[in-house]
Structure 1
Amino acid sequence: MFSYQLYSSRNFPPLDATLAMLAAAGYGAVEGFGALYADAASVDALAAGLAKTGLKMPTAHFGLEQLETDPDGCIAIAGRLGVERVYCPWVHPDLRPTTAQGWHDFGARVERAGAPIRAAGLGYGWHNHDFEFVALPDGTIPMTALLKGGPTLEWEMDVAWVIKGKADPAAWIAAEGPRITSAHVKDIAPAGQNTDEDGWADVGHGTVDWPNLMAALRAAGVAHFIIEHDNPSDHARFAQRSLASVKGF
């Protein structure tokens, strides 16, 4: 089953219309992000929308601060929405470590934050961007140090961001496959194209070798494939074209 990261549609309210569009397009699941459960009313609206459309939410993003300060609240939200796996998705540039030890310690911090989540029976891990693959002055790759610091962390691999970080996703899949439990499926436009969409593309209409990477991820046992576009000009077009593409991979 392919899922859809609702962040892709953040600029196309209302939420209930987005969920209806996704269900009609053939999606069976979505992935949540922090703004969708910022308060009780938002959680209620999301839960109602899922129930009305029949969409599931097996995975969701929760910010590190929320995980650290209100783990019980995160667990309650996950239970209400049917979430099975929680991923921490981001660290602000001002808070990013600058040394190998710093990234190791950050990985340990992320792991500690997830202890209550795992104790509640949920999967838990980290979602990458590009900065984790930019070598430090001593040559260390932050992602390597982060994973060592958090040895039980799962990994939701955002493949396109790995490529943006000038790393080889196939090599990382081969090395860390057992830890990769979800993958973000998005595409990169050819250089100079889709500038109004920040250089991203509908899945299957860009430069990422999705047929081979999808096969490698499936072989590694990845359970969740979440279609995403960081800034689509038309979210319905993106959702429909991307799902049609991935069904052929």
Structure 2
Amino acid sequence: MNTGPNSTSRRNFLKKSGLAAAATLVPLHNFAMDIEPNYKMGLQLFTIRDAMEKDPLGSLKAVAALGYADLETYGYDVVTDSYYGCKAKAFKQILDDLNLTATSGHYGFSDYFEKSKEELFRYVEQCISGAHTLDKKYIVWPWLHPQYRTLEHFKILAEKLNRIGEQVTAAGLGFAYHNHDFEFTDHDGQTGYDIILEQTDPELVKLQMDLYWVVHSSKSSPAELIASQPGRYVMWHIKDMDKKTRDYTELGNGSIDYTDMLSTIDTDALEYYYLEQGGNYANNSMQSIADSANYFKKHLQRYL
């Protein structure tokens, strides 16, 4: 299975040659359905954080059985070198036994926002060590505590992202920033995301686009943001939006037209994607990842 950004499926060839519209014809549509996906179907484990806390091994077995092949972790205990209560090496063995990979991880950088440069450097080194143990490709800054969401703090954040990006890149890994909604808040004509895009080095700081939050809060569409920053959006989070409350929901239950989006969006920079649902489960988190996986495989995976 091809997983990198340089692999080009027949589906991508059709899209780029202007023939994608013909995919609505039955023979070509069936042909496209048989194409092996370019990417492994990924899951951000934060979606099932309750299940992972109670039974990590059983939860991962269920994840693999649903067809997920790649994971993005969240959380890492630097003191004990562990993920979900398992030593990093033992967790890697679990993944190997289940034929799962973990290509990215979210780490608690925001907790170090006001720490010294030396403390932040040591924390990043510990995160790098944990990521290397799992053979990850990326480390992600995933969150900014509310007290740091001012324009002046975003400028400080940009400096930190560049510094961390340099450190992570030197260790042979990629570094990325993940957006929510607050980055798109308007501050007299400027947003925090503007500062991140303008004041970080594209070679050192890649971007993980949360498609839900871009649709939810940005004035620009995902396609427009990708076009404005070629080569930077190396990862995506794919999740749906409740039609009434605009909260999270299972794929296919919400208002985001992913068929239109994924069939037309530029995937040249994309390396990995992860399905995610932060809450608002119809029944429970494990059922939600099953429902989303089924919908994704049936309706959306053909585009990736």
CA distance change for structure 1 residues 162 and 187 in 2, over 3 Å: closer, same or farther?
same
Report the TM-score when normalising by structure 2: 0.73
Tell me, in whole angstroms, the C-alpha distance in 1 between the residues paired with 2:195 and 2:210: 18
SS in 2 for 1:219: coil
Go from structure 1 to structure 2 and tell me whether the alpha carbon gap of 1:127 and 1:200 turns closer, same or farther (over 3 Å shift). Answer: same
For the pair 1:114 / 2:165, whether they are aligned, the reply is yes
The corresponding residue for 2:92 is: 47
CA distance in 2, matches of 1:29, 1:183: 13
Unaligned runs of 5+ in 2: 1-39, 113-118
- TM-superposed CA distance for 1:52, in Å, is 2.4
Describe the superposition over 1:48-92 as per-residue Cα deviations: whole angstroms up to 9, x where unpaired. 321221110011112223864322211111111110111110110
- The equivalent residue for 1:56 is 101
Runs in 1 of length 4+ with deviation above 6 angstroms? Answer: none
* Displacement after TM superposition at 1:220 (Å): 3.5
State the AA in 2 paired with 1:158: D
Deviation readout 1:98-127 (Å, 9 max, x if unpaired): 22x542332121121222211011111100
Give, as a single letter, the amino acid of the residue that structure 1 aligns with 2:295. Answer: S
**Structure number with larger C-alpha Rg:** 2
- 2:182 corresponding residue in structure 1: 131
Q: Secondary structure at the match of 1:172?
A: helix
CA, structure 1 residues 132+240, in 2 after alignment: closer, same or farther (shift >3 Å)? same
Length-normalised TM-score, structure 1: 0.88
Distance 2:232 2:67 in 1: 29
Of stretches 117-126 and 235-244 in structure 1, the one that deviates more from structure 2 is 235-244
Q: Which moved more, 1:123-132 or 1:231-240?
A: 231-240
1:245 to 282, 295, 303: 295
**Partner SS state of residue 50, structure 2:** coil
Q: Which of residues 107, 110, 130 is equivalent to 1:77?
A: 130
- On the 8 A contact 1:130/1:163 being kept in 2, the answer is no
Amino acid at match of 1:110: L
Distance 1:68 1:130, change over 3 A: farther
Q: Does 1:28 align with 2:81?
A: no
Q: Is the 8 A contact 1:159 1:183 kept in 2?
A: yes
How much does 1:218 deviate? 4.8
- The residue that corresponds to 1:196 in the other structure is none
State how far apart, in whole Å, the 1-side matches of 2:260 and 2:155 are: 31
Contact residue 223 and residue 266 of structure 2 kept, 8 A: no
In structure 1, runs of 5+ residues without a counterpart are 194-198
2:41 is aligned to: 2
What is the CA-CA distance between 1:240 and the residue it aligns to?
Answer: 1.8
Q: CA RMSD in A?
A: 2.1
Aligned length: 241
Q: Give, as a single letter, the amino acid of the residue that structure 2 aligns with 1:157.
A: M
Cα distance in 1 for partners of 2:197, 2:155 equals 7
